[in-house]
């Protein structure tokens, strides 16, 4: 699957939240996400533009691999592979035993909405501020997904320069 995403820093989440409600977007819940990022012993993910993350929420831990960003869609696009694990702590011990090292932690509070084939996230990220994201998962035709995302952004009042960096990259750049 190809994750195509628009991420924009916003001053306030309130008008976007109201626009989502006005358009009858389905509220999927609010949760705290605690992400632990790892680097591999055999290659530097910062250099290869990859990411390996263990995410803790209210449910099972989620392990995510994100491939190199694809620039041809004009937004942030990359391969994303996810799998739930029964114990994130045990999985982290396995990574440690294999020589992977913790890179950073990202804490955010996220409100999730769904409208059509798009997911919307309203994020408050520790140390970074507030952001709105629109994401469409596409098997093919990333250009079509990009057009849909831009249309949704206009309808929801999400404007500003698209941020192509991940929260991890933004956080690391502030250190």
pLDDT tens track for 93-113:
999 999 999 999 999 999 999
Over 80: is that where the pLDDT of 123 sits?
yes
Active site residue 38: no
- Residue 72 neighbours by CB distance under 10 Å: 8
Greater model confidence, 99 or 4: 99
Q: Which residue has 């982290």 as its token pair?
A: 92
pLDDT attached to residue 74: 66
**DSSP conformation class of 85:** E
Q: Select which of 37, 38, 73, 167 is catalytic.
A: 37
pTM of the model: 0.84
């Amino acid at each position: 699957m190809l994750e195509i995403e628009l991420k924009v820093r916003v001053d306030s989440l309130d008008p976007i939240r109201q626009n989502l409600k006005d358009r009858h977007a389905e509220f999927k819940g609010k949760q705290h996400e605690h992400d632990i990022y790892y680097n591999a012993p055999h290659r530097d993910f910062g250099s290869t533009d990859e990411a390996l993350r263990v995410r803790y929420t209210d449910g099972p831990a989620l392990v995510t691999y994100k491939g190199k960003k694809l620039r041809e869609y004009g937004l942030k696009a990359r391969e994303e592979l996810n799998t739930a694990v029964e114990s994130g702590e045990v999985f982290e011990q396995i990574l440690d035993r294999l020589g992977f090292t913790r890179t950073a932690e990202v804490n955010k509070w996220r409100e999730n909405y769904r409208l059509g084939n798009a997911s919307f996230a309203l994020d408050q990220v520790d140390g970074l501020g507030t952001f709105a994201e629109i994401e469409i998962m596409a098997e093919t035709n990333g250009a079509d997904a990009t057009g849909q995302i831009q249309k949704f952004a206009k309808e929801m009042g999400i404007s500003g320069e698209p941020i192509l960096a991940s929260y991890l990259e933004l956080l690391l750049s502030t250190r």
